[in-house]
């Protein structure tokens, strides 16, 4: 009984919509668009049609699947074949089979499949990216494939075009400065060491360091700078090798980084803020309150308790390196009174007579100052290494 109901419902569902649609199009073609009564009738007919479809679908959903499939196949023409249709089906199968055997289609397909499988196996074992999941031909490239394509492209084209060389990196003058014997006039010129002050600020005592004048600015003789720099580097190296205390002084903005690195290389000290007057000449009030300790030749604290007489003694630096002597004139005067030798960068507006080992150069440019300071620090580092190596031998 349910099978007959199923067939009847399927036939009704297949032919349910045609009368309503025909009525709808007939009425819409014969009635003007602005007629509201006909529109309401069409809406009611459409609603009635949708209700009937829902009812039919609901009744079909209650029928078991095993009973519905035979009726569907029968309605679609997929039922049992007749004797004539079965005979035609067998003849077609035999024809296709004989045609395939005569043309060796199966053998070619088998050999092609085996060769493709072998090639795929070779590619799988030999390809350099075993974890790569390739995309199909009808799909866009994946993110992995795009990265590899860009990588291979850069490998072939990265070396094309111009080569950039001799690029300035500010940190190299601080952390990787050249040796004193490796510094050249070209390095000093590229760092702007030759640029002096304006001619209106010129101090006549620097006449021997001036090469000439250009557009109202004095040009410093770099040959003089190179010889003075190497002499000062020898002094710094000797003081560090002898175990002396080196004090670096620079109070301008941006000099602290270079001062800190120079003090680390030479096991010295640095002052990057304002110079306190009386640091060298008034040790009772200024440096006398600092904590003191004894160190050995390896710069390692001995942890020996100092006597009151040793604690009260003044500790002075063996060498004072000044980066901007014009602003730190008091420090130079105190060093003269305390008999502390000094090394300073002397610009055309500075006084070279206050410095023991002047280095003519540009003290306004941070690049120039870092280069000169780095060369001195490298010399002090080499002297420290020589001292430690000599102590290890002993």
CATH number, domain containing residue 259: 3.40.50.10490
Same structural domain, 345 and 228 = yes
- Residue 140 domain-assigned (yes or no): no
Q: What is the pLDDT of residue 36?
A: 63
| Residues listed for the chain | 394
Residue position matching structure tokens 């300071």: 373
pTM: 0.59
Distance CA(133)–CA(294), nearest Å, equals 67
Q: What is the pLDDT of residue 75?
A: 65
- The domain boundary residue, chosen from 58, 75, 92: 75
Residue 195 phi, psi dihedral angles, 5° rounding: -80, 115
Using 50 as the pLDDT threshold, list the residues of the chain that sit under it. Answer: 1-8, 10, 12-33, 118-126
Domain that holds residue 14: 2-75
The two structure tokens encoding residue 305: 């308790």
- Residue 116 domain-assigned (yes or no): no
Residue 288, number of CB atoms within 10 A of its CB: 14
Q: What is the pLDDT of residue 169?
A: 86
Residue 329, number of CB atoms within 10 A of its CB: 14
- The domain boundary residue, chosen from 16, 43, 75: 75
Residue 237 phi, psi dihedral angles, 5° rounding: -65, -40
Same structural domain, 338 and 209 = yes
- Residue 161 domain-assigned (yes or no): no
Total domains present in the chain: 2
Find out whether 336 and 209 touch, Cβ atoms under 8 Å. no
Distance CA(177)–CA(258), nearest Å, equals 11
| Helix H or strand E segment including 337 | helix 329-337
Residue position matching structure tokens 């308790």: 305
């Amino acid at each position: 009984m349910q099978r007959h109901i199923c067939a009847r419902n399927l036939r009704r569902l297949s032919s349910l919509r045609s009368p309503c649609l025909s009525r709808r199009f007939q009425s819409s073609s014969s009635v003007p668009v602005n007629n509201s009564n006909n529109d309401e009738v069409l809406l009611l007919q459409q609603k009635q049609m949708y209700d009937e479809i829902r009812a039919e679908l609901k009744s079909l959903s209650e029928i078991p699947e095993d009973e519905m499939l035979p009726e569907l196949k029968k309605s679609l023409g997929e039922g049992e074949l007749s004797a004539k249709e079965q005979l035609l089906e067998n003849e077609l199968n035999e024809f296709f089979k004989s045609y395939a055997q005569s043309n060796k289609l199966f053998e070619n397909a088998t050999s092609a499949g085996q060769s493709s499988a072998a090639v795929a196996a070779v590619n799988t074992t030999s390809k350099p990216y075993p974890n790569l999941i390739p995309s199909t031909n009808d799909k866009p490239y994946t993110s992995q494939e795009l990265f590899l394509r860009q990588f291979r492209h850069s490998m072939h084209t990265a070396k094309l075009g111009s080569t950039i060389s001799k690029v300035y990196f500010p940190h190299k003058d601080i952390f990787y400065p050249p040796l004193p014997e490796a510094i050249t006039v070209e390095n000093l010129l590229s760092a702007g060491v030759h640029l002096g002050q304006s001619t209106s600020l010129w101090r006549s005592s620097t006449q021997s360091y001036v090469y000439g004048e250009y557009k109202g600015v004095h040009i410093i003789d770099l040959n003089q700078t190179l010889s003075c720099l190497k002499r000062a580097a020898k002094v710094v190296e000797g003081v560090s090798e002898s175990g002396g205390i080196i004090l670096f002084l620079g109070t301008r903005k941006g000099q602290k980084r270079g001062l800190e690195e120079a003090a680390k290389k030479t096991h010295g000290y640095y002052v990057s803020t304002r110079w306190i007057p009386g640091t060298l000449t008034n040790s009772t009030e200024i440096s006398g309150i600092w904590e003191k300790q004894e160190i050995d030749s390896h710069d390692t604290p001995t942890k020996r308790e100092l006597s009151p007489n040793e604690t009260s003694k003044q500790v002075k630096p063996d060498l004072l390196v000044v980066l901007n002597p014009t602003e730190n004139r008091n420090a130079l005067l105190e060093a003269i009174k305390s008999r502390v030798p000094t090394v300073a960068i002397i610009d055309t507006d500075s006084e070279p007579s206050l410095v023991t080992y002047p280095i003519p150069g540009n003290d306004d440019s941070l690049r120039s100052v870092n280069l000169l300071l780095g060369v001195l620090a490298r010399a002090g580092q080499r002297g420290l290494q020589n001292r430690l190596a000599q102590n290890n031998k002993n």
